[in-house]
Amino acid sequence: RKEVEQDPGPFNVPEGATVAFNCTYSNSASQSFFWYRQDCRKEPKLLMSVYSSGNEDGRFTAQLNRASQYISLLIRDSKLSDSATYLCVVSTSGTYKYIFGTGTRLKVLA
């Protein structure tokens, strides 16, 4: 089993739709969680950190479920510009080790 797993997609959704991605992790000692987006042929960019209580940034909501060991990303009112690959990143405190998921491809269609 991979340490961090994501559905690779692609998720093809119409503009305005709500879409959700999940990411599961296997190490129960994981402490820090992040969502990044990566556009084609570009570097990953931090979208948001994921906090235990869940957090929201505009149309994006991230949640953490420690009991089931997954994090989620919800995108509301999808825009064409949201088309990208979304990477889940998990880190274990004190190790400086970051584990990347393989990414979920999102394509928002006009």
Partner 1 sequence: GAVVSQHPSWVICKSGTSVKIECRSLDFQATTMFWYRQFPKQSLMLMATSNEGSKATYEQGVEKDKFLINHASLTLSTLTVTSAHPEDSSFYICSARDPRGPGELFFGEGSRLTVL
Task: Give residues in contact with partner 1 (CB under 8 A).
Answer: 32, 34, 41-46, 49, 87, 89, 91, 93, 96, 98, 100-103
Nearer to partner 1, 22 or 91 (CB): 91
CB of 96 to partner 1, least distance (A): 5
CB of 61 to partner 1, least distance (A): 18
CB of 23 to partner 1, least distance (A): 13
Nearer to partner 1, 37 or 82 (CB): 37
Is the distance from CB of 29 to CB of 94 less than 8 angstroms?
no
Residue 94's contacts (CB-CB under 8 Å, 6 or more residues apart) are: none
Nearer to partner 1, 12 or 93 (CB): 93
3-class secondary structure per residue, 7-73 = CCCCEEEECCCCEEEEEEECCCCEEEEEEEEECCCCCCEEEEEECCCCEEECCEEEEEECCCCEEEE
CB of 44 to partner 1, least distance (A): 5
